Amino acid sequence: MARLYGEESNFGAFLDSVLDRVSEIIVYSGLIYSKLVEWWVGLAALSASLMVSYARARGEQLGAKMKGVGIAERPERLLILAAATLLDQLNVGVLLIALLSVITVLQRIMRARSMMVNVQHHDKE
């Protein structure tokens, strides 16, 4: 909405990110609490999803460009969850989210390492 009305701000971006994480916690907690997924599957997906966001935020804080890095960013995870819901395969879908999220975290770690090592090499020259 802020972009639509031309009223973007750093605080708005921060708040948006925080609320995205809160919504992920609520969704996965609800799936676990209602026993729609195995508790360990839900916890794995929640943990890995939060790490995807953390890896991006921390990498960007240290100067690595992380936008678009990884196989399972938030939109992809939401699509998988929607498809799993429609197919009545929540446990499988949430497990897939967990696995793809771990891969995404690893991709972001590799990108951050690559960018930070390249910056260090340039600094030494």
Residues belonging to the active site: 20
**Contact call for residues 104 and 51 (beta carbons, < 8 A):** no
Among 112, 84, 110, which Cα is nearest to 97's?
Answer: 84
State whether the Cα torsion 102-106-112-115 is positive or negative.
Answer: negative
**Contact call for residues 72 and 52 (beta carbons, < 8 A):** yes
- State which amino acid sits at residue 82: A
Q: Which token pair is 82?
A: 């929607």
